[in-house]
Amino acid sequence: MPATRRHFLQSTTAAAASLAFLSKLRPVPAAEAKLDPASLNADNGIAPTLRLLEETPREKLLEEVAASIKRGLSYRELLAALMLAGVRNVQPRPQVGFKFHAVLVINSAHLASLASPDQDRWLPIFWALDRFKAAQVETQKANGWRMSPVNESNVPAASKAAEAFILAMETWDEGAADAAATALARTASRDQAFELFARFGARDFRDIGHKAIYVANSFRTLEAIGWRHAEPVLRSLAYALLKFDGDRPDKSDQPADRPGRQNLELAKKIRPDWQDGKASKEAAAHLLSTLRTDTPEQCCAAVVEALNTGVAPASIWDALLAASGELLMRKTGIVTLHSVTSSNALHYTWQTCADPQTRLWLMLQNAAFVPLFRAAAGKLADTKLDELEAQPADNLSPEEIFANKDRPTAVRQALAYLNSAAHPEDLMHHARRLVFLKGNDAHDYKYSSAVLEDYYTLSPQWRNRYLATSLFYLPTSNQPDNKLVGRTRAALHA
């Protein structure tokens, strides 16, 4: 057994003990966490659980859910009910963020559960349950909002649903968009609906990427819980995507909308066989350099030039994801963090869409968003991802690396560890467990799920540097456990 793996096993003993209380519940098998959408509907357990989540006070919810699990409530039923409770009770306005992170984080919590050992899979969902109740209470105090019933008289026929949805979204008509989204949920396939929502989720740079994030996360959750639950989710999503300030965007020329409009035309200038390019580390490095300094228009033009000269899309995404990670390295904060999470969402959307022009446009939108995030972040340190140097770690374990309070040193140690480790997943696994124990914010889950997923998206020559930079933000071993761990322990021991 390699020394690094031995150190890891020794160092995780304490963390494993601190999560031992989860054994009081039955483990969640991997097969159950992956979910079978066909097994979920409102009359086989979802409706009672939905009422439980909506009506139980926050201070009693975890205990009530723990009792329900002991009586047989499954992970899959709980996840579905949590998503539906969120979209029905938490208003995604005036900002697609803030309290609405209670909904945005559900897919990230689910991804964390999927990647966890059986005995740990309940913890992210218990954390998300508490976030939902906090957001529900905040919404009720603010304005008492709750999703209203559908105006059935306005719902278009199936044959007109897509056309009605496009028109409503282009004219920023909330009532018509709500009716059309309802029709899509009832009559369209998931793929058909996703193609439509993907375009409108990425069309403008408002709310620092949360619109694109919501599109990706909501559809990913629906993929898990079943399309039969789509109606309230798509209604919430359409409402969120129509958020704007000032004059109506279709009647004005606002900076947030310009890249989307320009890139629709720019995408038409890319060669038809753009998917047949060759990977190029040099091209990725050149584009990364461009993303550090140039305007959104110049960065998008550089992507067009690269694709037209035969560079593979994978190399473009290497640069886009690396540039997002580098921004967090240059200035750790909420704005640069969302450069990472929105790039993750746009890449997922790019992978999932079928229409070639939509896919090109999404890539160009990400190329515009990265420099917009860079400008929004303000003054940045002059550090570069491709110049990051590894610091010999002398067989340090992940626990020892994450315990280092000097973040720049920990990043360099993590890079050395990843460069030499036979099992880089050891460091990823430890990072995830620290989020379970120490995380106090939705961004801990959103960011960790995004960066750990995109590690495998990046080419090998970039991925270790990208993951190492995550230690600028991820929790450290010496932070106190979040209060929810103790409360969950008590609930499961009861």
179 and 232, same domain (yes or no): yes
Residues of the domain holding 335: 258-377
Could you tell me if residue 1 is inside a domain?
no
Q: What is the pTM of this model?
A: 0.90
Which has the higher per-residue pLDDT, 373 or 41? 373
Reply yes or no on whether the pLDDT at 19 is more than 70.
no
Distance CA 355, CA 424 (A): 35
Q: Which residue, 212, 246, 280, sits at the end of a domain?
A: 246
For 482, what's the count of Cα atoms within 13 Å in the CB-facing half-sphere? 22
455 and 428, same domain (yes or no): yes
Q: Which residue, 246, 267, 294, sits at the end of a domain?
A: 246
Which has the higher per-residue pLDDT, 371 or 6? 371
Looking at the structure of the chain, the number of domains it has is: 4
265 and 369, same domain (yes or no): yes
96 and 182, same domain (yes or no): no
Could you tell me if residue 494 is inside a domain?
no
236 and 318, same domain (yes or no): no
270-315 pLDDT tens trace: 999 999 999 999 999 999 999 999 999 999 999 999 999 999 999 9
110 and 212, same domain (yes or no): no
Distance CA 322, CA 299 (A): 14
CA 327 to centroid of chain Cα atoms: 17
Evaluate whether 53 touches 85 at the Cβ level (below 8 Å). Answer: yes
336 and 271, same domain (yes or no): yes
Distance CA 363, CA 35 (A): 30
Sign for the CA dihedral angle at 210, 211, 216, 218 comes to positive
392 and 360, same domain (yes or no): no
Could you tell me if residue 2 is inside a domain?
no
Tell me the pLDDT of the chain averaged across its residues. 90
Could you tell me if residue 4 is inside a domain?
no
Could you tell me if residue 53 is inside a domain?
yes
280 and 337, same domain (yes or no): yes
225-234 pLDDT tens trace: 999 999 999 9
Instruction: List, as one string, the DSSP characters of 184-231.
Output: HHHHS-HHHHHHHHHHHHSS---GGGHHHHHHHHHHHHHHHH-GGGHH
pLDDT of residue 202: 98
87 and 191, same domain (yes or no): no
Reply yes or no on whether the pLDDT at 3 is more than 80.
no
Could you tell me if residue 373 is inside a domain?
yes
384-418 pLDDT tens trace: 999 999 998 778 899 999 999 999 999 999 999 99
188 and 94, same domain (yes or no): no
- Angle between helices 190-201 and 210-225 in degrees, nearest 10: 170
81 and 175, same domain (yes or no): no
Q: Which residue, 73, 108, 142, sits at the end of a domain?
A: 142
